[in-house]
Amino acid sequence: MKVVFLGTSSFAVPVLEALHQSQHSVVGCVTQPDRPKGRGMKLQPSPVKERALALSLAVVQPQQPTPEDVMSFGADIGVLAAYGRKIDAAFLQAFPKGIMGLHPSLLPKYRGAAPINWAIINGDTETASTFYQLNVEWDAGDILLQETVAIGVDENAQQLTERLSLVGAAQAVKGLDAIASETAQWLTQPNEQATRAPKLTKDIGQIDWTQSVTQIYNRMRGLAPWPGTFTQWQGQMLKLIEAKPHSAEGQSSSPGTVLSADAQGILVQTGKGQLLIYQVQPPNRRAMDAAAFLAGHALKPGNVLGD
């Protein structure tokens, strides 16, 4: 089949590569417009655009895709992965076989922009990659393939994203093969079981020390690398870069209290258990280990984080 690929972020790159190497023909790519990035705010192409051009594929970059953007490709079907734009009914009808989407969750669970992050934040032990038919509702179309994936106890969002992109890449090829051979079997999503995975914001990274150490650690994993987690100390933001639960039991001091601070790390009391912080980032500074931070800052046992 002739395929138009829609994607933007690095998650989508392995999917594009797998489709390009398959028996199907990628005849064009749709990706978001170049965005200003870095200190110089120079326009930068998306990871999908960079890879598509390296593969000598045609690329279009509309603000919002319309049928006219892809009409010249003569594609049978569209495949969407991490594109970042909602698709309207007119664009869905631009492809005789519709558009298939990859969503990294156990649909109908975690419909929305940040399914990987919320699965980790909520302490789930498994998620999935789902290959499904797009419709005008968010992530609500019929499912063709769904593969469950275990979430590692220390795995963060970036690591899980990389694994799920490879699962999805293989899934996309297998799914198109089934559609092309007319052997596809579809499963309707039970909408009453749907949950949401809303877009992440920077303030979601603020640590609530009254939560248990497990909840705090899950939040750190789920928000890595962006937007990250932070607390306050002496009226300034202190980003928490690397930490692990030290103990999951007990509460010897008020939540947020520093129990010890040395080269081994900064041990902080939570609502239940203690968190050992190995690496932090003060305002306008690079990330540094606990020893380097303590050498230049008077953080000591008894101080309270979060005030």
- pLDDT one-digit tens code per residue, 93-115: 999 999 999 999 999 999 999 99
Q: What is the pLDDT of residue 176?
A: 98
Condensed to tens digits (0 to 9), the pLDDT of residues 22-42 reads 999 999 999 999 999 877 788
How far apart (Å, rounded) are the C-alpha atoms in residues 267 and 213? 11
Record the pTM: 0.95
- Assess whether pLDDT exceeds 80 at residue 250: no
Contacts of 221 (CB under 8 A, 6+ apart): 120, 121, 154, 155, 156, 157
Condensed to tens digits (0 to 9), the pLDDT of residues 158-217 reads 999 999 999 999 999 999 999 999 999 999 999 999 999 999 999 999 999 999 999 999
Largest CA distance in the chain: 68
Averaged confidence pLDDT in the chain: 96
Alpha carbon separation from 240 to 87, 247, 283, 290, 303 (Å, rounded): 37, 18, 12, 10, 16
Question: Cβ distance 132 to 144 under 8 Å?
Answer: yes
Determine the average pLDDT of the residues in 254-265. Answer: 96
Condensed to tens digits (0 to 9), the pLDDT of residues 54-63 reads 999 999 999 9
Q: What is the pLDDT of residue 247?
A: 87
**What domains appear along the chain, each with residue ranges and CATH number?**
2-197 (3.40.50.170), 202-296 (3.10.25.10)
